[in-house]
Amino acid sequence: MDVLIYGGGAVGLGLASCLLASRVRVGIVARPATVDALRSGGLTREGLFGAFRAPPQALEAFATLDEGPDRSYDFVLVCTKSYDSQTAAQDLAGCRGLGEQVRLVLCQNGWGNAERFMPFFRRDRLYHARIITGFTRPRPNAVTITVHADAIHMGSLFGSSVEALRPLCEAISSGGIPCETTETIGRDLWAKMLYNCALNGLGAILDVPYGRLAEADSSRRIMDAVIDEVYAVMQAAGYGTHWADAAAFKRVFYERLVPDTAGHRSSTLQDIQARKRTEIDALNGAVLDLAGQHGLRVPFNEAIWNLVKFIESSYRP
């Protein structure tokens, strides 16, 4: 099996480490500094699920698709930030080496990424992954798994068979992180939206890990309101998740999901600390957009979106 990792950030390197541990042939498209580090030092993984190191000769790393080998891949795992979806879709669509049967798995945060790929790829080639494992990247060629709430889920929003994904999921699982197919990936993605919209932006604004947000009544009231708004928008737009109402989700959220990831500092906070653009547009921003389409007001999501945008504006021209 040949797998291309498009995006060599923390998530991309984490998934690559699992595939390499399962002896899958892996190519990684990443920024030049990451490519240089991978070519010289290989890939290292630490943290949950144990340590692993792949030597430089075990993988292929390149800064552009044009530098890659002249062969087709079975899967492309898109691990870019959500705001790079349009660029990634155009770049991958222009790559002749992917082949007609390659399947793309979007391993990104937020809602709306598929719409960026649909003009370029048939729906039956597009899949999604729901990942609620926490990764950090202490060095350009190293990844640390910090928290893990549930198995990676992979499936189709468009009714395509998930059988083709089974070898990929089995390889990731045997390489360290549990991974399985699902027929309800849409419900999984909205469950993650509820989780991320409540935690990511607020944790970044207050500069605290997830567990701290659940300790105080003041922050819990904000998260409760965010969840209520996301539920209303999700249902107005015709989507659903695994819990019938917001109250049922909150019980699982506070009793299991937050405790399991209490020490994690959100990717939004990590981006702000690195003075990078955040993915808030695909999280609370996506809720705000959908709310506008359906005549709803979401003041708590809007406030979080605006506050993160304000923080971004302090270091982004």
- Tell me which residues are annotated as active site: 192
CA 70, CA 76: separation in Å to the nearest integer? Answer: 15
CA distances from 58 to 20, 33, 55, 267, 294 (A): 7, 18, 5, 28, 50
Q: Please, which contacts does 214-219 make with residues 24 or more away whose CB atoms are closer than 8 Å?
A: 214/254, 214/258, 214/259, 214/262
The residue type found at 142 is A
